[in-house]
Amino acid sequence: MPKRVALRHVSAFVAEHHQWLEHHLAKMTAVYAHQPLLPQTIVFKAIDESWQVSYVDAACARVIELSERKELRVHGASEQQMVQALQRWLQQRAKQVLPPWLERISAESGLGYERATVRGQKTRWGSCSARKSINLNRALLFVSPEAVRYLLLHELCHTVYLNHSPRYWALVARIMPEYEQYETELRLAMAELPAWALPGFGG
């Protein structure tokens, strides 16, 4: 639940929306139950990349990247180790892509920021602090480039208004009038991320 919501409101919300909650819990359970934890292919829509993945039993957990062939060889002694290795690789790839992208959008929009970090998060695509530090979710690599651009602009607009006031949304709309479709895309994409990429699956 959101941090600012009082605990007393939770039971009433659950009681009112229990059918919706049960439906979506069942839907997510069905999706992840049929989804193999170790992927054979990794597709990053944001940068139009597709990686073929193979697995090698080995004591040392690591990922060998064959860049020219777009292949990954994942080493590990267990499924958990291999997932951890893949998550480290995902983190590294996202750090190569997202901060430079943010810098370009910042220059285009004229909205400055202090620093950018990349993390693995389950529920948020990004955030901006009062000190204009922007945090980006590494899973942005799985969504469309247009949705990434929107998210970057969304966070940059928070350097002007650190809220979701009408003035904030007016600024977003002025820079990216079609932003609502990407709000919808991001909302739906969060529930469709591959299980291996989610924090917690790697131990």
> Which pLDDT tens digit goes with each residue over 137-179?
999 999 999 999 999 999 999 999 999 999 999 999 999 999 9
Residues 29 and 111 in one domain: no
Residue 130 falls within a domain, yes or no?
A: yes
What amino acid occupies position 115?
Answer: R
Confidence of residue 18 (pLDDT cuts 50, 70, 90): confident
Residues 101 and 193 in one domain: yes
Residue 135, judged by CB atoms within 10 A of its CB (0-12, 13-18, 19+), counts as middle
Cα 121 to Cα 72, 92, 110, 174: the distances in Å are: 23, 15, 28, 29
Of 1-5, 56-60, 76-80, give the lowest mean pLDDT range. Answer: 1-5
Residues 59 and 143 in one domain: yes
Confidence of residue 11 (pLDDT cuts 50, 70, 90): confident
CATH number of the domain where residue 142 is located = 3.30.2010.10
Per-residue pLDDT, 8: 76
Number of domains observed in the structure of the chain: 2
Per-residue pLDDT, 19: 80
Residues 47 and 17 in one domain: no
For 25-58, how does the pLDDT look when each residue is reduced to its tens digit (9 = 90+)?
766 555 555 556 899 999 999 999 999 999 999 9
Share of the chain above pLDDT 70, in %: 90
Contact 75, 63 (CB under 8 A): yes
Residues 109 and 189 in one domain: yes
By three-state DSSP, how is residue 44 classified? strand
The number of beta carbons lying within 10 Å of the beta carbon of residue 185 is: 16
Residues 90 and 188 in one domain: yes
Domain span at 28: 7-35
Residue 203 falls within a domain, yes or no?
A: no
Cα–Cα distance, 110 to 161 (Å, whole number): 15
151 or 19, which is more confident:
151
Residues 93 and 186 in one domain: yes
Residue 27 falls within a domain, yes or no?
A: yes
